[in-house]
Structure 1
Amino acid sequence: MATRKLFRQFWRPVSKLCTGELAATPIRRTIQTSAKHAHPFPGKEHIRPPPKRNGQILALTGGGVLTIILGSQLAYPSHEKSAPAPPPSHETTTNPRTLSEPETQPVLKEGIQYYRLDEIRSHDGASARPWVTRGTSVYDITDWIPAHPGGDVILRACGGSLDPYWDIFSIHKRKDVYEILEEYKIGEISPHDLVDGKLPAATVPDPFIADPERDPRLLTLTARPRNAETPSEGLSPFLTPTPLFYVRNHMWVPPVSADEHSLTITLPSGDEKTYTLEDLKSRFRTHTVTATLQCSGNRRADMTRAVPDKGTNGLQWEAGAISCAEWTGVKLRDVLADAGLDLASPGPDAKHAQFEGAEAYGASIPLSKVLDSQGDVLLAFGMNGAPLPADHGFPLRVIVPGNVAARSVKWLKKITVSDEESTTQWQRRDYKCFGPNVAKPDWSQAPSIQEMPVTSAITRIQRPSSGGKVNVEGYAYSGGGREIVRVDVSIDAGKTWAQAELMGDEGKGSKSWWWKRWRFEIPDEGDRGGEVLVKATDESYNTQPEDYRGIWNQRGNLSCAWHGVHVGPGEGVKGGKGGDGGGGV
């Protein structure tokens, strides 16, 4: 049937060509449904231009290799090169067809642009217009690459299929990602290159092969890249045990040698200076700072549950995307001074410190934070009295106390003092907040998240096996080095409140960069079941908002409303993890 349609469509022009009424022109691969939609011949205009970008594009908090970004309005120009026509079929000598056996041709759908694999392969990472495929679809991602959060990693997939990469980076296998990718679609793979309607299987090197072993007690959200929460037993101590410190990776853990690793610092003048790890350890004074690191998406799942009609985009962290440790290293301000920066008068072009990691992640902080003698920004090579583990930045990372953990770049290899923020996705788009009414944000209109707001959470509720009072425990934290001065607990839906006991933990550093642990006993007569609520107040009298709807944002960042845990009368927390004699959370 398809062959007859094709024959009828082209018979008249072929007839005219034979009689000299029509000049010879090449036949397109795209079959038009009518002359009204036909493109002129010859020339590149016959290739359908990629669609305009009009919708919102989703950013994922895991950072990954082929992450679809929230983005701008882009229009793609037409391709410069047309694909070669499908080759003629060849009959085999071992199984010749008889005249009564019509040749089977691949079915071409009307209105679809087809591309041969040879042409797709030519649009590889070195091409001026890189393409990728997914399934049998073809996508032009040229204008996306400069903003790709995985840096040059995406070029590995260009000229071929995304599917084997997404089998590795499974975080991309989401309906919303698939929908956004369709906006880049320019056509389909020619059926001549398919086997049973599919591409031949392909394999790619596994970049996660060298990732370290992780403690099985971590609560894993995604395995590749690894994103895992600290379990309740790790949230109880003041210093989180290193194996239980939460893991937030946007990509794989890069294989780095301490002996070969170096840090390059670039100043606004263009001057550069490079330091080995041994240089940093031997030439500068060593400091130890106690600091809590918290992901901007910590407690995002609470916001998602509280605003189910809107939901949130990103990893659905509970209350364990936060941990506290002692970090040992040298102060960045001392190293910048040695590199030639005038700390007293750095100049008008010295406004930001940009950090670049070995796996392509990048972020920045205001230079004023670095130059502050009480800012305590470290180039850290130690954690909890031991060398940094691989998941937490070995052999070198920056620690920015009081700021969102996204600025404490791991596997640090370069620092640039600049007049602008880092240009990466993680600085310019991903870690920002907008009003609860904003569905399509203009990313240039909001500042990047730096200092974290006040928050608190219940991490354990225990009932002694012999009965008696219910013990409630948790953490409270505020960014910017603002000390927690009060934690309030309610057992009657917020009608009345009582103050929790703040535990006497003291850390090291110029300010209170660490969390405060707290505990509270529910009296026997108050044990009627229901929701236990907690809220915290810092030294500037900032306190947590009551409701999530007022702070809802599409990315689910800074989810810091009152935290609540439901407990039935006479029992511990349902579904809790751990707990002595009655359950915990």
Structure 2
Amino acid sequence: MQHNNINVSYENEPSRDPDFTVNYKAPFNAEPRQDVLVQQFITPTEKFYVRNHAPVPDIKGESYALKVDGLVGNPLILSLNDIKNKFEKVTINASIQCAGNRRTMMSEYKKVKGVGWGIASLSTASWSGCRLRDVLEYAKAFTKNEGALHAVFWGLDFGCPEDNGKPYGSSITMEKAMDLDGDVLLAYDMNGEPLTRDHGYPLRVVAPGIIGARSVKWLDKVTVSSQESESFFQRRDYKIFHNGVNWDNVEKYWDKTPSLQELSIQSAICIPAPNSTLYLPFTITGYATSGGGRKVERVDISLDGGETWDYAELMGEDKGVCNKYWSWVLFKYTITKLPQLQNKDHQKIRLVCRAWDSASNTQPKDVKDIWNLRGVMNNSWHFVDITVLNQSVKNKL
């Protein structure tokens, strides 16, 4: 296959779950069915969404080496065994979410450019590895006052068509990288097993609380720098513009618009599916997330399109600490009666959810208010239109 005059081969891709909704075949981008997504707090590895930018590399663990360079006093080349044996093993539960989650719904309002994602381009796993902080300290990374402002990551997934065949790259701030409570990992295990190829074997970044684009897979090198990554995906992608920016004038906005880091507050209804026909009682199930480790405090549910609200029941971790909530919460809300249905055969209703976090952030009502050229960070109220049949209709059948 050829992209932009670059020969890219997808002949050695790993096997995938046949139930995935495939949004793009090459590179492979797919999400689980939304009803499957919320079946468990920890997503089974084979159901974890996949976001790739190039062919999946086939790397042998025994020959793997991580480079650490840049503004460091002790440049490193570490084998996988070095990473496992020299540094403390840490395990965290964390969700990873694509900045393009719910892009398709934004595009339905006004066309955007990017891989079309539904509501399931996020998943939650138990990640194990060493702290990035520990590796950078071992490398004697320079301080902020010495110009060390960014941790720049490069992957081994050569062939990114958007970036002239270069491997995928991205960066986070050194403030996040060196924060003991920031929990940035160089992960080698996922759900208690070695990473799979699709999820970054043998080593990947897990930078919780920020967009998934910064959690670089198949990690090749970490460079401590005074500048953020020069990668296309840092400088010319994953940025949010106001709605006056289009492809005719975007060039003057790229450099003055900051690269996305922390995720915004988000929620979505996964069950029931849009346009379902149901009898009472039934249960609404979905997820909610926030960025920066902020706790999801509540999820509101409306049965009348957002006119009135009630609280959903939340199911998640109670860490009892501030800004260390890296995982989603799942929510449910059971509807046992609809007064307006009593004298009708059926009732069409609009289910709506919105979440609030510990900083009192909540979701905007309308997608039109946050529409942007790249279709990122769509966290408008999520709604599902359904039809509820009167039980008396069912009894007559």
Who is 1:435 aligned against?
242
Who is 1:496 aligned against?
308
1:228-247 paired onto structure 2 within 5 Å: 228-231=30-33, 232-247=35-50
Q: Which of 14, 30, 36 is equivalent to 1:212?
A: 14
Who is 1:570 aligned against?
389
Does structure 2 conserve the Cα–Cα contact (< 8 Å) formed by 1:288 and 1:508?
no
1:472-487 paired onto structure 2 within 5 Å: 472-487=284-299
Give the Cα separation in 2 of the matches to 1:570 and 1:328. Answer: 47
Give the Cα separation in 2 of the matches to 1:508 and 1:395. Answer: 33
Does structure 2 conserve the Cα–Cα contact (< 8 Å) formed by 1:289 and 1:507?
no
Does structure 2 conserve the Cα–Cα contact (< 8 Å) formed by 1:289 and 1:508?
no
Shift in CA distance, 428/265, structure 1 to aligned 2, threshold 3 Å: same
Who is 1:561 aligned against?
380
Is the aligned partner of 1:529 residue 2:327? no
Give the Cα separation in 1 of the matches to 2:219 and 2:318. Answer: 29
Does structure 1 conserve the Cα–Cα contact (< 8 Å) formed by 2:38 and 2:330?
no
Q: How far does residue 466 in structure 1 lie from its aligned partner after superposition?
A: 11
- Bigger mean CA offset, 388-397 vs 234-243: 234-243
Is the aligned partner of 1:512 residue 2:325? yes
Does structure 1 conserve the Cα–Cα contact (< 8 Å) formed by 2:280 and 2:335?
no
Give the Cα separation in 1 of the matches to 2:238 and 2:278. Answer: 47
Q: How far does residue 281 in structure 1 lie from its aligned partner after superposition?
A: 0.5
Give the Cα separation in 1 of the matches to 2:278 and 2:76. Answer: 65
Structure number with the bigger relative contact order (C-alpha 8 A, sep ≥ 6) is: 2
| Aligned Cα root-mean-square deviation (Å) | 2.1
Does structure 1 conserve the Cα–Cα contact (< 8 Å) formed by 2:278 and 2:388?
no
Does structure 1 conserve the Cα–Cα contact (< 8 Å) formed by 2:290 and 2:296?
yes
TM-score (ref. length: structure 2): 0.88
Who is 1:66 aligned against?
3
Structure with bigger strand share is 2
Specify the code of the residue in structure 1 equivalent to 2:222: I
Who is 1:248 aligned against?
51
Give the Cα separation in 2 of the matches to 1:394 and 1:281. Answer: 14
Specify the code of the residue in structure 2 equivalent to 1:295: C
SS state of the match for residue 147, structure 2?
Answer: coil
Shift in CA distance, 507/361, structure 1 to aligned 2, threshold 3 Å: farther
Specify the code of the residue in structure 1 equivalent to 2:312: A
Does structure 2 conserve the Cα–Cα contact (< 8 Å) formed by 1:535 and 1:543?
yes
Q: How far does residue 569 in structure 1 lie from its aligned partner after superposition?
A: 2.0
1:182-581 paired onto structure 2 within 5 Å: 207-231=9-33, 232-268=35-71, 271-305=74-108, 307=109, 310-341=110-141, 345-359=143-157, 360-439=167-246, 440-441=249-250, 442-461=253-272, 467-506=279-318, 511-526=324-339, 528-570=347-389
Q: How far does residue 377 in structure 1 lie from its aligned partner after superposition?
A: 0.4
Q: How far does residue 524 in structure 1 lie from its aligned partner after superposition?
A: 1.7
Q: How far does residue 523 in structure 1 lie from its aligned partner after superposition?
A: 2.8
Deviations 1:509-559 (A, max 9, x none): 970000010000123225632210000000000000000111000111001
Q: How far does residue 267 in structure 1 lie from its aligned partner after superposition?
A: 3.0
Specify the code of the residue in structure 2 equivalent to 1:293: I
Give the Cα separation in 2 of the matches to 1:554 and 1:286. Answer: 41
Shift in CA distance, 254/557, structure 1 to aligned 2, threshold 3 Å: same
Task: Determine which structure has more spread, i.e. the larger CA radius of gyration.
Answer: 1
Does structure 1 conserve the Cα–Cα contact (< 8 Å) formed by 2:125 and 2:190?
yes
Give the Cα separation in 1 of the matches to 2:128 and 2:144. Answer: 26
Aligned residue pair count: 366
SS state of the match for residue 62, structure 2?
Answer: coil
Shift in CA distance, 381/269, structure 1 to aligned 2, threshold 3 Å: closer
Give the Cα separation in 1 of the matches to 2:320 and 2:134. Answer: 19
Q: How far does residue 233 in structure 1 lie from its aligned partner after superposition?
A: 0.9
TM-score (ref. length: structure 1): 0.60
| Structure 1 alignment gaps of length 5 or more | 1-63, 68-131, 133-153, 157-164, 166-206, 572-585
1:5-16 paired onto structure 2 within 5 Å: none
- Bigger mean CA offset, 208-217 vs 387-396: 208-217
Q: How far does residue 437 in structure 1 lie from its aligned partner after superposition?
A: 1.7
Give the Cα separation in 1 of the matches to 2:288 and 2:70. Answer: 38
Specify the code of the residue in structure 2 equivalent to 1:406: A
Shift in CA distance, 445/516, structure 1 to aligned 2, threshold 3 Å: same
Give the Cα separation in 2 of the matches to 1:244 and 1:263. Answer: 28
The percentage of aligned residue pairs carrying the same residue is 41
SS state of the match for residue 549, structure 1?
Answer: helix
Give the Cα separation in 1 of the matches to 2:113 and 2:22. Answer: 18
Deviations 1:472-518 (A, max 9, x none): 00000001101100100111111101111112445799700000100
1:26-105 paired onto structure 2 within 5 Å: 66=3
Give the Cα separation in 1 of the matches to 2:60 and 2:185. Answer: 20
Shift in CA distance, 276/516, structure 1 to aligned 2, threshold 3 Å: same
Deviations 1:249-293 (A, max 9, x none): 001101100000010000325752100000010111100011100
Give the Cα separation in 2 of the matches to 1:466 and 1:311. Answer: 32
Deviations 1:74-112 (A, max 9, x none): xxxxxxxxxxxxxxxxxxxxxxxxxxxxxxxxxxxxxxx
